[in-house]
Structure formats: structure tokens, C-alpha cells
Amino acid sequence: MLQEDEQTRHDEPPGPGLRTALEAILMVVDEPVAAITLAQVLERPRDQVITALRELSAEYTVTGRGFDLREVAGGWRFYTRDTCAPLVERFVRDGQQARLTQAALETLAVVAYRQPVSRARVAAIRGVNSDGVMRTLAARGLVEEAGSDPDSQAVLYRTTSYFLERLGLRDLDELPELAPFLPDDVEGLEDQR
């Protein structure tokens, strides 16, 4: 920490070092902040900022801090460490999140991999009407409307950034591959009905 500040002091104006500044800013945010935003405010190259964030995160983990710095939903943010969950729960009123039903999880999975997708399409894949479940997911902020299909006029749905947060994903690319679970030539089958 101090060492890094020492090294960079030669070629930059006096002030807090990069890591110190990052820690300070992330202390006041209430949503994930993109590395590029931090880089712009701190007037540093994005790569340098990302490296510093990763180093901080690794340091917190190695030294067993109660907090953790993680990249989720396209941004960086302080979290509590999972091992402290039982203690933290006593202070966080809204800690308890209702569990999703199997129906909700399946519907969420189809939307995540097929977005933007209509309710009829989801129903075709799951083999059951999924309208009620979709409304629940929308009310929970996990999916949202994403325009309508030009042909059928059906409302399309996609996952939200809150969905990424809840799953602890950086972005949709981090979703596990569907392919290993699928045989060949299944894509688009539901269209053949």
C-alpha cells in the first residue's frame, strides 16, 4: 500500500495514491461503479485502475478483511465477506431475500439465455404457461420489458443489472455455457411447433 504510493509519487502531483483514492471513492457509492468511470475521475489509464482494483481485492482476501471488493454487474463495489454473513444479517434489515421457486428459476434461466424473449417463447420451452412467474420476476426487478417483437407484437423480456447483482455476475458473458447441457441441433426447436 504505502510502497505503491511511494513509487508513484515521483511522476504525479502530490495527493493520495491510486489505491487510497479508489478505496475512498468506493466508500461513498451505493451501486457498482465501472472501472472506466473511476479512471476518468482519477485521470488514470483504465488498465492501471483495473489492476489496482484487482490487487486491492486480492489483498483484502489474503489478509482476511471483513469486507471484500468485487466486480459485479459491470462495476466495482464493497461487499461483506461471506464468512461473516450470520453476524451481518443481524444488522441488515433487508437481508432476507425470499427464495425463488423452481418455476421462477427455470423462467429466469430461459430469459437469461434467450433474451430478448417473449412469454409465449418461454412457455414453449418450459412446456407450461409462464405468465404469472414472469410477472413475479418483473416485480422483483430481475427481468424487465425490452420492447416488442416486430412480427407478433408480443412483449419481449430481458434480465436486469439487478439480476447480475443477485447472481454475483460481472456480465451476461459470465453465465455458464448452456451448450454442454444441450445436444446438437436443438436451438430453435420451439419454433417448429
Partner 1 sequence: MAGVTEKRAKEPADVFQVRLEVFEGPFDLLLGLISKRKLDITEVSLHQVTDEFIAYIRARGPEWDLDQTSRFLLVAATLLDLKAARLLPKGEVEDEEDLALLEARDLLFARLLQYRAYKEVAKVFSGRLAAEALRFPRLVPMEARFAGLLPVVLLGIGPEEFAKVAARAFTPRPKPTVSVEHIYQPLASVRDQAAILVDRLRLVRSATFRALVADCEGTYEVVARFLAVLELFREGVVAFEQAEALGELTVSWTGADDGDVVVADDYDDDPRPAVGDPALAAGPARDDPGGIPGNTSSNHDE
Picking from 137, 106, 105, the residue whose alpha carbon sits closest to that of residue 124 is 106
185 is written with which cell numbers? 441441433
How many binding residues for its own copies (CB under 8 A)? 54
Least distance in angstroms from the C-beta of 58 to partner 1:
17
d(CA 130, CA 107): 7
87 is written with which cell numbers? 453476524
Minimum CB distance to its own copies smaller for 5 or for 167: 5
**Residue corresponding to grid cell 504525479:** 12
- Per CB under 8 A, which of residues 18..47 are in contact with its own copies? 19-30, 33, 38, 40-42
- Per CB under 8 A, which of residues 132..191 are in contact with partner 1? 132-133, 135-142, 151-155, 165-169, 174-178, 181-183, 185-187, 189-190
Minimum CB distance to its own copies smaller for 99 or for 173: 99
Contacting partner 1 (CB under 8 A), which of 21, 29, 42, 146? 29
- Per CB under 8 A, which of residues 56..75 are in contact with its own copies? 63-67
Span of 7-15, 35-43, 50-58, 89-97 interacting with partner 1 by CB under 8 A: 89-97
Picking from 99, 112, 182, 177, the residue whose alpha carbon sits closest to that of residue 146 is 112
Q: Which residues bind its own copies (CB under 8 A)?
A: 1-2, 5, 15-17, 19-30, 33, 38, 40-42, 63-67, 78-81, 83-84, 86-88, 90-94, 97, 103, 127-129, 131-132, 135-136, 139-141
